[in-house]
Amino acid sequence: MEGRTVSKQILIMGGEGNGGVIASAILDMNKKGYKEYELAGYLNDYEVGNFINGYPVMGKLDQVHEFGEKGFYFMWAVHMIGHGKKRRDLFYKLKVPEDRLVKIVHPNAFVADNVTIEPGVFVMANSYVGPATILRKCALVMANCVVGHNDDIGELCHLSAGCNVSSYVKIGYASDVGLGAAVLEKVRIGNYSVVGANSLLTKDIEDSVIYVGSPAKLHRRIEE
Ligand SMILES: CC(=O)SCCNC(=O)CCNC(=O)[C@H](O)C(C)(C)COP(=O)(O)OP(=O)(O)OC[C@H]1O[C@@H](n2cnc3c(N)ncnc32)[C@H](O)[C@@H]1OP(=O)(O)O
């Protein structure tokens, strides 16, 4: 075995949206010579036996332990915008084994040396993550995002493509920042909240709210 790299076999928990993006990053990394991970397929409650982008759906989400015992590793990709509470409740109900969650940072992303990256984090190509920032468990940073320095991005958060999060920002868990949105420095975002696409968030917002516009105003409260 000496000298031979054995890739970790990855099952993506989710579907073709965010799951497909994570899958595409793994495949691209393989092409670029990064062999640490290999895409094995998906776990998805609605597509068992089918294929997503050519990869098999090998089981349902609640089979995560069974597949963990078989040696698979996982990435979490269930991130429906505005359903943060459901997303987090499901994650904890399934008791996703944290020691089987991997971290995927595309090699074309810039992530400062002292960024804390927890298990399950995904950072897509062309994103920037500044010094001393924390990306908590299963946070997704999609393509072309800027995440400033000294930020605290909560577990299961989803930063959509092209958003800009300034510095000293704190985001609770399972919140979403929409496509191209911007968040000014030192702003705090609660849990399960959403900053709408292309919005400019200038002030703190509480839990379970959607803010849109520039400057962003309360659009509605989320009832889940
Ligand atoms: C590659 C990727 O990562 S893709 C995934 C990223 N996806 C996104 O970023 C999408 C984020 N989602 C949004 O911005 C949504 O519009 C939300 C969540 C803010 C609001 O959704 P809903 O509550 O369903 O709003 P709905 O679509 O019914 O619109 C209601 C009103 O708000 C307005 N509105 C909706 N979103 C926004 C927005 N981002 N900015 C300004 N106004 C908005 C609509 O134009 C509409 O106005 P009207 O009543 O005058 O016609």
pLDDT digits (tens, 9 = 90+) for 175-186: 999 999 999 999
Q: What's the whole-number mean pLDDT along residues 191-219?
A: 98
Q: Is the peptide bond before 56 cis (omega within 30 degrees of 0)?
A: no
Could you tell me the two tokens for 72? Answer: 């698979």
Nearest CA to ligand 1 atom 20: 196
Domains 8-78 and 104-221 share a fold: no
State in words which class domain 104-221 has. mainly beta
The predicted pLDDT at position 1 comes to: 43
Q: Report which protein residue has its CA nearest ligand 1's atom 25.
A: 219
Pairing type for strands 55-59 and 51-52 reads: antiparallel
Nearest CA to ligand 1 atom 3: 160
What is the tens place of the pLDDT at every residue in 112-148? Answer: 999 999 999 999 999 999 999 999 999 999 999 999 9
pTM: 0.96
Tell me the average pLDDT across 25-31: 98
Q: Which atom of ligand 1 is nearest to the CA of 210?
A: 19
SS (H, E, C) the chain: CCCCCCCEEEEEECCCCHHHHHHHHHHHHHHCCCCCEEEEEEECCCCCCCEECCEEEEECHHHHHHHHHCCCEEEECCCCCCCHHHHHHHHHHCCCCHHHECCEECCCCEECCCCEECCCCEECCCCEECCCCEECCCCEECCCCEECCCCEECCCCEECCCCEECCCCEECCCCEECCCCEECCCCEECCCCEECCCCEECCCECCCEEEECCCCEEEEECCC
Region 92-105: what's the mean pLDDT? 97
- pLDDT band for 3, please (50, 70, 90 cuts): low
Cα(210) to centroid of ligand 1, in Å?
A: 9
Determine if residue 82 is labeled as part of a ligand binding site: yes
Q: Which atom of ligand 1 is nearest to the CA of 195?
A: 19
Q: How confident is the model at residue 81 (pLDDT cuts 50, 70, 90)?
A: very high
Cα–Cα dist 67/94, whole Å: 13
Closest listed residue to residue 106, CA positions, set 143, 135, 70, 133: 143
Fold of 8-78: Rossmann fold (3.40.50)
Please answer whether residues 84 and 51 qualify as being in contact, where contact means their C-beta atoms are separated by less than 8 angstroms. no
Cα(221) to centroid of ligand 1, in Å?
13
Ligand 1 pocket: which of 16, 81, 193, 224 to mutate (most atoms within 8 A of CB): 81
- Hey, where are the domains in the chain? 8-78, 104-221
Smallest CA separation from ligand 1 atom 8, residue: 178
Cα angle 61, 197, 89; round to 5? 25
Ligand 1 first shell, C-beta below 6 A: 81-82, 142, 160-161, 178-179, 194, 196-199, 210, 212-213, 219-220
Q: Residue 4: pLDDT above 80?
A: no
* pLDDT band of 6, cuts 50, 70, 90: confident
> pLDDT > 90: what percent of the chain?
96
ipTM over 0.90: yes
By CB atoms closer than 10 A (0-12, 13-18, 19+), residue 3 is exposed
Instruction: Please check if 65 is assigned to a binding site.
Output: no
Distance 218 CA to ligand 1 centre (A): 12
